[in-house]
Structure 1
Amino acid sequence: MATHTRGEAYDFELFEPKRKQELQPQPQNNVIRLPREELEKNRRPKHRAFKVISVCTFLVVMLGIVGTFVYGQVRLSELTNEINSTTTELSEQESLYTQLKMKSQAKLSLETVEEYAETQLGMRKLEQNQVEYISLSEGDKGEVLEEDSSENWLTSAWNFIQQLLS
Structure 2
Amino acid sequence: MASPNSNEAYDFALFEPKRQHEEPQKKSNIIELPKEKLEQNRRVKLNPFRVVSTFLAFGIMISIVGTMVYGQVQLTELTENLNAATKTLNESESVYTQLQMKSDSQLSLQTVENYATNKLGLKKIEQNQVEPIALSKGDKTQVVQNSGDDNWLTSLWNSILQLLS
TM-score by length of 1: 0.63
1:128 aligned partner: 127
Q: CA deviation at 1:24?
A: 3.5
Q: CA deviation at 1:37?
A: 1.7
Q: CA deviation at 1:101?
A: 0.8
Cα distance in 2 between the residues matched to 1:24 and 1:68: 69
Cα distance in 1 between the residues matched to 2:134 and 2:68: 89
How does 1:3-152 map onto structure 2 within 5 Å? 21-22=20-21, 24=23, 26-27=25-26, 30-133=29-132
2:161 aligned partner: none
RCO higher in structure (CA 8 A, sep ≥6): 1
> Which consecutive unaligned segments of at least 5 residues does structure 2 have?
1-18, 140-165
Cα deviation per residue 1:46-105 (whole Å; 9 max; x = unaligned)?
A: 111111111011000110011001110111111112111211211111111111011111
Cα distance in 1 between the residues matched to 2:85 and 2:25: 87
Structure 2 residue matching 1:123: 3-state secondary structure:
coil
Q: CA deviation at 1:23?
A: 6.2
TM-score by length of 2: 0.63
Amino acid at match of 1:50: F
Q: CA deviation at 1:135?
A: 5.5
Identify if the C-alpha distance between structure 1 residues 23 and 105 changes in structure 2 by more than 3 Å, giving closer, same or farther.
farther
Structure 1 residue matching 2:45: 3-state secondary structure:
coil
Q: CA deviation at 1:30?
A: 4.9
Identify if the C-alpha distance between structure 1 residues 39 and 130 changes in structure 2 by more than 3 Å, giving closer, same or farther.
same
Percent of pairs identical after alignment? 54
Identify if the C-alpha distance between structure 1 residues 105 and 45 changes in structure 2 by more than 3 Å, giving closer, same or farther.
same
Structure 2 residue matching 1:80: 3-state secondary structure:
helix
Cα distance in 2 between the residues matched to 1:79 and 1:61: 27
Greater Cα shift, 55-64 or 79-88: 79-88
Q: CA deviation at 1:31?
A: 3.6
- Report the number of matched residues: 121
Identify if the C-alpha distance between structure 1 residues 118 and 25 changes in structure 2 by more than 3 Å, giving closer, same or farther.
same
